Each structure stands twice: as C-alpha cells, then as structure tokens.
Chain A
Amino acid sequence: MVYLQEEPEKRSRIPQSALFRAGFLLFVVVTIFLLIRQAAVPKSFGQYGYYRGDNVEEWVSLPQNFAQGNPDCTTCHQPEVLQTGQSAHSQMDCQSCHGPLLTHVKNPKQPLPKVIGNAELCGACHRELIGRARDLVPTVKLGQHSGGLDCSRCHDPHKPLPTKGGSNL
C-alpha cells in the first residue's frame, strides 16, 4: 500500500527549469522555421492567390514580335492594304505572309523581311491537300500548275484574281 502511493508522486516530479528549456527550444525552432520561410517564399507569393503575383506583370510585359496588323500597316502602305482589302485576300493580315513585323513598324528603315512569293509560301494555303475544302480556298496541284516557278511571276498576292487563269500579266 505504501509503495503504491509513493511511486506515482515521485515519477511526476519534473524540474521547472526543464520546462523553460523545452519552451525556449520550441521558440527557437519555430522562429528559425518562420525566418527561413520568409526568406524562401517570394514576396508577391499569395498576393492574388497561390502563386507569385509579380509573374502576371512579367507575362504582360513580354516583348511582341507581331504588330497590331493591318491598322499599323495602313499608316505607310495604304494603297496595298486597300487593294488587298478589296480582293479575295481581304480577310488576311499583312503578317500572314510577310511574317512578324513589329521591328519594321517601330523602325521603318529596317529592311522588310523579304517575302519570296514562291510555291512554298502560297502553297501553304493553295496546294491541293486532302482535307482542304475547295470551296474555302482555290487549290492547285503545285507541280502541274507552275512546274515549280514562283507564283508571283503570274499572280499578284495583293490583287489575286479569284478564278482560274488569274493572271495579271
């Protein structure tokens, strides 16, 4: 009886200083964790959601290569834009064939990227291809049609004639 009463009392005796030590250690660990967390997590993380908020601005400010398109071109090349606008190519953007032109719009003295009106360029749309609807775009068998000559020898892409034999020679 005596033994059983005394023993639990002895076990539960823990020096108070050990509590302070444990508490202090916990404080240090949590502080270090939070300091590391603050250093490791980017500043704008969580600004809008679970991502780095600054990244949105990084995407917005990426450089363009393509200009606005025909409105930009009209400033200097109005005749060509107007002429094309009345033709079968009216839906097209200048940059569809001419490629990305923002550097040219910003600095017109820079030479245009040269457009070769060859069968490869025009053939992208106008070569006969299974799956390509003829009512959407006139197509030809490239080899038979021109024998590999440049399309621009006969056709003017700024004023393409819509029917067969659309030559402007």
Chain B
Amino acid sequence: MKFTVSRRGFLVSAAKAVTAGILAPVATLTAAQNILADEPLQTKEKFSLWANNDWGFAIDVNKCIGCGLCVKACKQENGVPLDQEVYRTWVERYLKFSEEDVRIDSPRGGLDFKQYDVRPEKQFFVPKLCNQCKNPPCVQVCPVGATYRTPDGVVLVDRKRCIGCRYCIQSCPYGARFLHPVLKVADKCTWCYHRISKGLQPACVEVCPKKARKFSNLRDPNSEVATIRRKDRIRLLKPDMGTKPNVAYIDLDEVVK
C-alpha cells in the first residue's frame, strides 16, 4: 500500500512536524530547568546585598598630593602584582604650560613621580580608576557574558568565565581594564567589592592620607558623596561617550579627558 499526499497536505504536515520537533524537547527541558525564561528581572529584590546599596565614588582633585599610597594599597588588597605595569587605579600628573601644551605622566602608575625643574602654569594630580559606568561598553562587547554591572553599581568580571579575549580592554574609553598577568583574565577596579559589601571602605579610600577619595552609599542622601554630587562643582570623565560614568571629580580642570 502506498501513501501519497498532495502539496498542501505535505506543507501542513511538515509545519506540524517542525513545530512538534522543536516544542517537544523544549517543553520537556524547560520543565526541568527554566532555561528559556525571559521574565522581567527584579534583581534588586532577588539579592539582599543589592536591596539597600547604590554606591558612589568622588575624587577631590584639589586634595590629591600624588603620594601613590592608593596605587600600592589597591595592588596589595586585590592581588595585582606590584612589579607589573598594570593598575586598577593609578594617579596621573598634569603639567599645564598653556592650553595647547599639557604634559601628562604617570610613572609606575603614580608611585614614582620625578621632580622636574619646570614652572608650569598649572599643575595637579588626577587619580583614575574604573568609572563603573551605568552604560558600560565593556559589558556590551563581552562575547561570553563574563562581565556585568551589578544593580548596586559595580562592574565585575567573572574570572571563571572570562576567556581573555581582551575586547573589553579595548572598548573601555578610560583604559581602566587590563589583562591580569597571573590569572590571564580581564581585571579591573571593583571598588573593592569584597570590602564594600561588608560595610568597609575600598582600600584606596582607606589609605588616602588627604581623604581626596570619597566613597559612600548614595541611598543615604546625607552621605558624603551624595552631598558632593548635589552641591559641588563636579565633572565626569568623557560624558560625551554616553557611558554614564559614576566617578565624580570635584573641580577638575577641563584639560583632563
């Protein structure tokens, strides 16, 4: 006996078969694990740590003396080799001779500034670190979902998942990322996430002798950084990049990009 079908009949059966072939395993597996779920992410409520935190960082450029204690402490706290040219935070020195002639240096990340016999018009130090952008380009480009921004405002790297492709390092307009020389994964400032989530200050804020670095929870409107962001003349770095950086600089000269 020979079964035959018309063109219409074939198309209808084929459509049914394709739907069944896809839906059957999907239905079986989604019952076991909700892998294809696309529910709204109310992440703040999901993780108690995030519920009451919204971190903010501010830097008073007028107070920085370029001692480099933050650079050293950061490396000691976060296991970044001291003798390698990679920095989670670093200090830049700006020597402004005129609008056109601005010389910037940061030898050993700011641990080894040299004394020069020059008289610039303006001179100051600028500590730099990850801006923990609200719209982070580094997160967008990661091909394996190894980097993300937590709802309390810190961009983290999943060291087990990172494949070390360095896309994120290239995409950061602030140069805040680097390849960890020992772990061979992307590394960056985390605002000392392991400290702040326990109610401590980041290591660089802790050791800053002039308290030029300020860190607090923006949920408290009277906290230091919240007050600074409300009242002081602050500037963000490269706001035109659309990254929405989250480190506020007080009285920063316009030559700093």
Residue positions of A touching B, CB distance < 8 A = 12-17, 19-20, 22-24, 26-27, 30-31, 34-35, 37-38, 41-42, 45-52, 55-56, 58-66, 68-69, 89, 91-93, 95-96, 99-100, 124-125, 127-133, 136-137
Contact = CB atoms under 8 A, between A and B. Distances in A.
Contacts, number: 178
Contacts of B52: none
A91 B95 contact: no
12 contacts: A12-B6, A49-B43, A59-B190, A63-B194, A65-B77, A66-B76, A66-B207, A69-B201, A95-B73, A125-B69, A129-B113, A131-B124
A77 B216 CA distance: 27
Given A26-B18, A125-B65, 11 more contacts: A13-B4, A15-B2, A19-B13, A22-B17, A50-B148, A59-B156, A60-B49, A91-B210, A127-B115, A130-B120, A136-B63
Given A23-B20, A38-B35, A55 B63 contact: no
Interface string B159-171: 1110000000000
A11 to B, nearest CB: 8
Main secondary structure of the interface of A (DSSP, over half): loop
B194 A61 contact: yes
A118 to B, nearest CB: 15
Nearest to A141: B115
Nearest to B147: A51
Contacts of B7: 12
B33 interface: yes
A19 to B, nearest CB: 5
A10 to B, nearest CB: 10
B93 to A, nearest CB: 5
A91 B211 contact: yes
Contacts of B148: 49-51
A56 B47 contact: yes
Contacts of A52: 145, 158, 160-161
B241 interface: no
Interface string B46-74: 11010000000000001101111100010
B73 A66 contact: yes
Contacts of A16: 3-5, 13
Interface stretch (B22-30, B217-225, B242-250): B22-30
